[in-house]
Amino acid sequence: MRENKTIYCEKCVGEIKSKDDLVVTNKFIYIVPYHEKCFSKELKGISTIFVGNKPINGTSANVSTILAVILGIVVLFIEELRFFSVVSLVVLCVRLYSWIQYERHL
């Protein structure tokens, strides 16, 4: 496994050097990294339709992930809602993917 992988911004193709400058979001089914500035520019542009408007990384994303996991565990005990635990598993996987692919290298 390669350490210190360089992360390139999806919009300007520049290197993302700091964790504070990194916004990971989804574009279609892909998980892509942006500079914080480039992400807000992208949100204002036409590509908003294709880009998720919620970052996958950061504090608020961590809180939503934890909530999704707790909810996922709770619905496991409710037969009619058990399906939703799959959704929470997906949320958790996306969050982990973002961390493994991008955040841990910065």
Which residue ranges make up the site for Zn ion (CB under 5 A)? 9, 11-12, 14, 35, 38
CB of 13 to Zn ion, least distance (A): 7
For residue 17, which phi and psi values (nearest 5 degrees)? Answer: -100, -25
User: In the complex with Zn ion, which residue's Cβ is closer, 40 or 76?
Assistant: 40
Measure the CA–CA gap between 92 and 34, rounded to whole angstroms: 20
- Residue listed under structure tokens 């919620």: 54
Measure the CA–CA gap between 96 and 27, rounded to whole angstroms: 17
User: In the complex with Zn ion, which residue's Cβ is closer, 9 or 31?
Assistant: 9
CB of 97 to Zn ion, least distance (A): 20
User: In the complex with Zn ion, which residue's Cβ is closer, 23 or 91?
Assistant: 23
